[in-house]
Structure 1
Amino acid sequence: MELNTIKDAFDRVTKKQKLSSSKSQEVIEQLSQEIEEALLKLQSIPDTTFQANHKLILTELKTKLNEIAPLGQLEGTQKELNVALSKYPKLLEKSFNPDISKAYRNVDFDAHTVNQIIANHFYREGLFDLGDCFINEAKETEATAMRTPFLEMYQILDAMRARNLEPALNWAATNRDKLEQNGSDLELRLHRLQFVEMLQMRGRDEALNYARTFLAPFASNHMTEVQKLMACLLWAGRLDSSPYSELLSPSHWDKLAEELTRQFCNILGQSCESPLSVTIAAGVQGLPTLLKLMNVMTGKKQEWQSMKQLPVPVDLDREFQFHSIFVCPVSREQASEENPPMLLSCGHVLCKQSITKLSKNNSTRPFKCPYCPSEVEVAQCRQLYF
């Protein structure tokens, strides 16, 4: 794999650089030691014999420095480093083709939809001025629909950074039913954080009144959590030295902000991550494979433009895999409802159409598995569900 080759070349350069640096330090220490010894000898010479002996000491020092031969010692490691450094840029130029237009295909797309995606990305990232400017220049007034919801979300998050949970609590109360449907305990966690803050800042009485008003409704389903918070009342003013000091961790604020963002986007019917960011990140990972494919298909531009399916798989990280898929190892086609994955009796998996071709459309005729010596009957194959 090209990336492994590049990494190996980089590691060689790094190793040579460390060796060169280590050798340089070693030579400098040798020179320093000899000079310091000569200085000590000069300082120990009596004034009466200084004129006669200092030339002898300096002559000895010059001889020792010539024996060390610093330039000669450094020349070898520096030469190896220069060779590795000269090869590395050439490998990068060979591996990374800057002309990404080779991987471009003439695909029809709706500019209006693309503009909406870009505008939503700006609003999702909290860049409201930039989003407004883009919409005005692109004349996409419909794209402003997501501005208000995301503005509300960022106002809530800004308030949380200022240790103000009231906007978040109001939003959670308004969307209580939807949060429960999603299986989220966000509202309880917000009240827990508010209770701890109140216990720390205002004392036991106000914290107890807050618990009676806002935590009591959660007692039936979250009794253990509520009991733990009630035990915190015994440690009012010294919660940091209590068994419940973990509740004071700043990480709770960060985790709640992440959960609120996730649930806010979920209720809006939007993904937590920006679709534009995910698409670009996935494209960056897949681009080397597409460029390599185009280099192989040089001179077949028309075939590339008309190709409905890539002849090679594009491997992406797990963060870009949003649902389970299966690609038949024989036909290289992705499984579908019409062509589902089938488990053979030997344990290998093929798509239904591949099994039909291998068995010559005869359900009683055994066929050989393409990946092992086993004989398989169509009737023994079972459909897999992902």
Structure 2
Amino acid sequence: MDLTLIQDAFDRVSKKQKVCYTKTQDVIDRTLHELEVAAKQLSETSTDQKLVLTGLQGKLAELAPSNQVGALQKDVNLTVSKYGKMLDKAFCTDIAKAYREAEFDGHLINEIVAVHFYRQGLFDLGDCFIQETQEPNAMTLKTPFFEMYQNLEQLRARNLVPALTWAKENRPALQKKGSSLEFQLHQLQFVHVLHNIGRTAALQYARASFGPFASCHISDIQRLMGCLLWAGRLEVSPYSDLLAPSHWDTVALEFTRECCNLLGQAYESPLQVTVSAGSQALPTLIKLATVMANKKQEWQVMKQLPVETPLENAFQFHSIFACPVSREQSTAENPPMLMNCGHVLCKQSIQKLVKGNSRTFKCPYCPLETTSAQCRQIYF
């Protein structure tokens, strides 16, 4: 799909519309001018009204505003029509061509949809969906997300106590994965207390809260202690950046990530990721289905697509290996294999190289020789 051609066509339509508007407005202004002149002449008592109306009729016939405007509109409509046909040709709306028969677990799909609603905070909608699909077991998915959103609402209201309580309860798990969420929450609370209550309360909070984090965040704690000298005028101090609202947004995002992680859920909704990735792959799939249909071949029976499906980096969750010999992407049946020389080929490529060689075969990229038994499967 050449988007440049579509953009050029759109620019032509836009330019044509602007020209049409300018010329149409000019015709209307000239017509109004003639009418105003005639009306002024008719208001004079000594004027021959019949002569004025005859002159006005002649000028309007010469100007022909309806014909001019009609011709301009016809030209624009023709250009818009061509642009619409180009869009219909470039963007195929029949997505059914990309449909592929597949077996799905209906209960699993219902749970995925319900979890999507709950993780978006749409609890009423999720409950309604579960009731209509008659999936009572999915109600257990609501509780952890409901607690998470309650804490998030309090956090956005500048109340950190519920989030701090949750972080303290889950401190071993957070420390195990190297998360600094609890310290970030304490840091926000310290700045909030210092700015809104005073130096004494902030110092007491620091003594009670920062002890467990001194070994890992000593430099941050030292900087926070420096803020005590600027109590009451923190917004004009060298530490004014600590008052930025973005810190609250960052902590809210980190809190959501850690909650989802401890629940065994991805931060982004799997359903949303799947639909977004599918919408990007849709043009390629439609084109492939069309080409295969023209060649009277059935693409739905293929185990692997014969073309690459371009997706954004956000949808690349693991490394992909393509064999430098066969140019094919590795699969579970055709995994990447490491040779003694350090080069990596897919298993089927090695089997083809071994064929006809009783013991050893030469690496296609260096002079070293090896055997198939010495090749080891590697994992990305």
Q: Do the structures match in fold with TM over 0.5? A: yes
> RMSD value over aligned CA atoms?
4.2
Mapped partners of 2:280, 2:193: distance in 1: 48
Q: Corresponding residue for 1:371?
A: none
Mapped partners of 1:127, 1:110: distance in 2: 24
- Tell whether the 8 Å contact from 1:17 to 1:81 is kept in structure 2 after alignment: no
Matches within 5 A, 1:250-329: 250-298=245-293, 303-328=298-323
Matches within 5 A, 1:47-58: none
- Tell whether the 8 Å contact from 2:6 to 2:87 is kept in structure 1 after alignment: no
The alignment status of 1:339 with 2:331, answered yes or no, reads no
Identity of aligned residues (%): 52
Mapped partners of 1:75, 1:341: distance in 2: 72
Q: Corresponding residue for 2:41?
A: none
Following superposition, the deviation at residue 262 of structure 1 comes to: 0.3
TM-score, normalised by the number of residues in structure 1:
0.78
- The change in CA–CA distance for 1:364 and 1:332 in structure 2 (over 3 A counts) is closer
Mapped partners of 2:356, 2:253: distance in 1: 53
Matched residue SS, 1:163? coil
Q: Corresponding residue for 1:44?
A: none
- CA offsets per residue over residues 228-262 of structure 1, 9 Å max, x none? 11111111111100000001111011111100000
- CA offsets per residue over residues 339-384 of structure 1, 9 Å max, x none? 3066999x997424224425645333575xxxxxxx7556389987
Moved more, 233-242 or 309-318: 309-318
- The change in CA–CA distance for 1:342 and 1:203 in structure 2 (over 3 A counts) is same
- Give the counterpart letter for 1:86 in structure 2: S
- Give the counterpart letter for 1:315 in structure 2: P
Matches within 5 A, 1:202-217: 202-217=197-212
- Tell whether the 8 Å contact from 1:188 to 1:218 is kept in structure 2 after alignment: yes
Following superposition, the deviation at residue 122 of structure 1 comes to: 1.0
Mapped partners of 1:79, 1:122: distance in 2: 49
Following superposition, the deviation at residue 153 of structure 1 comes to: 0.4
- CA offsets per residue over residues 19-51 of structure 1, 9 Å max, x none? 75378659979999xx99xxxxxxxxxxxxxx9
Match of 1:196 among 186, 191, 194: 191
Match of 1:229 among 219, 224, 227: 224
Mapped partners of 1:268, 1:91: distance in 2: 48
Following superposition, the deviation at residue 97 of structure 1 comes to: 2.4
- Tell whether the 8 Å contact from 2:362 to 2:370 is kept in structure 1 after alignment: no
Q: Which runs of 5+ in 1 are unaligned?
A: 37-50, 52-58, 368-374
TM-score, normalised by the number of residues in structure 2:
0.79
Matched residue SS, 1:297? helix
Mapped partners of 1:220, 1:162: distance in 2: 31
- CA offsets per residue over residues 174-216 of structure 1, 9 Å max, x none? 1111111121111111111111111111111111111110123
Matched residue SS, 2:293? coil
Q: Corresponding residue for 2:101?
A: 106
Q: Corresponding residue for 1:177?
A: 172
- Give the counterpart letter for 2:118 in structure 1: Y
- CA offsets per residue over residues 53-79 of structure 1, 9 Å max, x none? xxxxxx9xxx9xx99x99999999988
Mapped partners of 2:172, 2:24: distance in 1: 73
Q: Corresponding residue for 1:48?
A: none
Matches within 5 A, 1:1-386: 1=1, 4-5=2-3, 7-18=4-15, 21=18, 82-298=77-293, 303-328=298-323, 331=326, 333-336=328-331, 339-340=335-336, 350-358=345-353, 360=355, 362=357, 363-364=360-361, 376-377=366-367, 379=369, 386=380
- Give the counterpart letter for 2:168 in structure 1: A
